[in-house]
Structure 1
């Protein structure tokens, strides 16, 4: 039980802290971005090494290393997008009244390079971690991709909470791709699929006697649970953004709380980058 709780708390802390760190770094002066990007690139290299080193390590430590390495790979994509290094060919909002397939095409354009970079990372992560005895890193990356794409599509199609005041000023044009609706038809599908996968992973973690398998599935189940939670935050009136108020200090003395009933949580804002 203690080992399971430790794995859950580790995953929760990394999710919370990494989200806030990206927001904090992105609020610093633009001249610091190159150093943040350099640090993220070094982390990416270390993460690739970690994935390779842990690919055949079936100890609990190997599960931790693979999980953290996958998160390090994903962090590079978040930072490179939010700092404007890897975005897309379109960097301006849609005109008023742009709808339908044309609007969808514009939404893909704002994050095209970002999405292609993620696909390239899939290939690298698969080459380093897929097929080995320890696939925690690869599976974690798959879940992160699912969280990203599902949130991205749901926010584009329409959810209740879209006031993205955590978005940096240089990405303000993304707001034209956010749609206000109580819910959309994709939302229940996303929740149902995520819940089913989470239940399977949680059951495997609960009933296995192998420490590695328990840690691995606990990490994966926790990330799926966070994906479900982030989706619910998109439609429920919960002021969860208070968890990341500290990350806004880089943009001023106090975070800007706009008097609106529509909010997009910081974590969901990061997941849904590019159209989201």
Structure 2
């Protein structure tokens, strides 16, 4: 039972704690950002080395280490984005009245550098694990990447809960690219597809005769994907999901003498459709 319960509990903790730490760090005064990014970059390099070192480690401990390294690689781009270091060429609110392709173009410009960083990090993870038997770190990064892209598209198309409270003040302009709506046509498809894949991963993890390390790796992937599906439901259900990380948002409530001027943003609501 520990074979399955261990990875589940470990994934739950890492998902909750790492998210909270990142939110806390990007809410600190801007003078701390250079140190935060420097430490995150050092951890990124160590994580890539860890993925390379464990690429042929077929023990259960290898699965744990590879999963952790995959999360650390992903955490770097989260930190770089929320600190405002790697975002996009456009750093201002969406022009009023922008709809259709212009709105999409502006939105892509606002996060283009971030998207390119995701591709570069994927290439680095792929290179670090290439030819190895332990692909848990690669699965981890791919699941986080695909599900984050799905969440971004759903927020762009329109969902009930935009989670704008997670954005630090210096990224407040990004709220104007979101759309608040009861739902969109992509949401059920994205949830259905990811739920089916998660179910298949769970089924594979409990298959007869499967090696312990392989089972642990599949549980890591299945749990992470299941949590990503849950996060998608947080976008549309009336649930106070932000309370899960309320402790991490305290850094934004403290007085900040170096805070930038407030950015005026348009109301986060569904604009008229033409």
TM-score (norm 2): 0.91
Counterpart secondary structure, 2:165: coil
Q: In the alignment, does 2:252 pair up with 1:251?
A: yes
For structure 2, the residue ranges without an aligned partner over 5 or more in a row are 256-267, 269-274
Give, in whole Å, the separation in 2 of the partners of 1:65 and 1:215: 12
Q: In the alignment, does 2:48 pair up with 1:84?
A: no
The answer to whether the 8 Å contact 2:93/2:176 transfers is yes
Offset of 1:130 from its aligned partner?
3.5
Number of equivalences: 255
Give, in whole Å, the separation in 1 of the partners of 2:148 and 2:73: 14
Give, in whole Å, the separation in 2 of the partners of 1:159 and 1:82: 21
Cα-Cα RMSD: 1.4
Matches within 5 A, 1:158-169: 158-169=158-169
Matches within 5 A, 1:214-225: 214-225=215-226
Give, in whole Å, the separation in 2 of the partners of 1:56 and 1:35: 33
Give, in whole Å, the separation in 1 of the partners of 2:92 and 2:249: 24
TM-score (norm 1): 0.90
Give, in whole Å, the separation in 2 of the partners of 1:190 and 1:249: 33
User: What are the Cα deviations for residues 151-186 of structure 1, in whole angstroms up to 9, with x where unaligned?
Assistant: 000000000112512210000001001101111011
Which is worse superposed, 244-253 or 119-128?
A: 244-253
1:172 aligned residue = 172
Q: Which runs of 4+ in 1 moved over 4 A?
A: none
Give, in whole Å, the separation in 2 of the partners of 1:49 and 1:235: 39
Q: Return closer, same or farther for 1:163/1:4 CA change in 2, 3 Å cut-off.
A: closer
Give, in whole Å, the separation in 1 of the partners of 2:15 and 2:183: 25
Which is worse superposed, 245-254 or 97-106?
A: 245-254
Q: In the alignment, does 2:244 pair up with 1:233?
A: no
Q: Return closer, same or farther for 1:130/1:195 CA change in 2, 3 Å cut-off.
A: farther
Offset of 1:206 from its aligned partner?
1.5
Give, in whole Å, the separation in 1 of the partners of 2:247 and 2:130: 37
Which is worse superposed, 27-36 or 207-216?
A: 207-216
Offset of 1:132 from its aligned partner?
1.2
Matches within 5 A, 1:45-124: 45-124=45-124
Counterpart secondary structure, 1:111: helix
Q: Return closer, same or farther for 1:77/1:163 CA change in 2, 3 Å cut-off.
A: closer
The answer to whether the 8 Å contact 2:126/2:138 transfers is yes
Offset of 1:253 from its aligned partner?
5.7
Offset of 1:210 from its aligned partner?
1.4
